[in-house]
Amino acid sequence: MEIALIYFAVLAVAFFLLIVRPQRRRAQAHRMFVTALEVGDEVMTTGGILGTIRSLDDDLVDLEVAPGTVIRVARMAVTQPVGAEVPEVPDGRDVPDVPEVPDVPDVSNGAGDEER
């Protein structure tokens, strides 16, 4: 019975060190980034929308996504600055490159559609 408690304790500590702490660190860094936002910053939202901050409220950000087109998003939806270097991963792991998408043949002209 004692060995089971030891295994459980080791598992709980490992879970905390490997899951909870890094997540808290990322959340804290995001909160600091969001509080430091300023008018004129170019940012990206969680949905991948790129824009320039035109005004800031407590919980909302007005983003200009095209000349004359302004959208309002939640302040916490802003994830990162545009053009920023890839952030350093805190635990020293390398961030893998994004693989290229292979060319897909154009089948919109009906090619390949055979009558059955």
Interval 18-40: pLDDT, tens: 888 899 999 999 999 999 999 99
When comparing pLDDT for 32 and 111, which is higher? Answer: 32
Q: What is the pTM of this model?
A: 0.59
- For every residue of 15-73, DSSP letters joined together read HIIIIIHHHHHHHHHHHHHHHT--TT-EEEETT--EEEEEEE-SSEEEEEEETTEEEEE
**Residues counted in the chain:** 116
pLDDT(107) > 70: no
pLDDT at 17: 87
Segment 45-81, tens digit of pLDDT: 999 999 999 999 989 999 999 999 999 999 999 999 9
51: exposed, middle or buried (Cβ count in 10 Å: 0-12, 13-18, 19+):
buried
Q: Delineate the domains of the chain, giving CATH numbers in brackets.
A: 2-81 (2.30.30)
Distance CA 92, CA 71 (A): 37
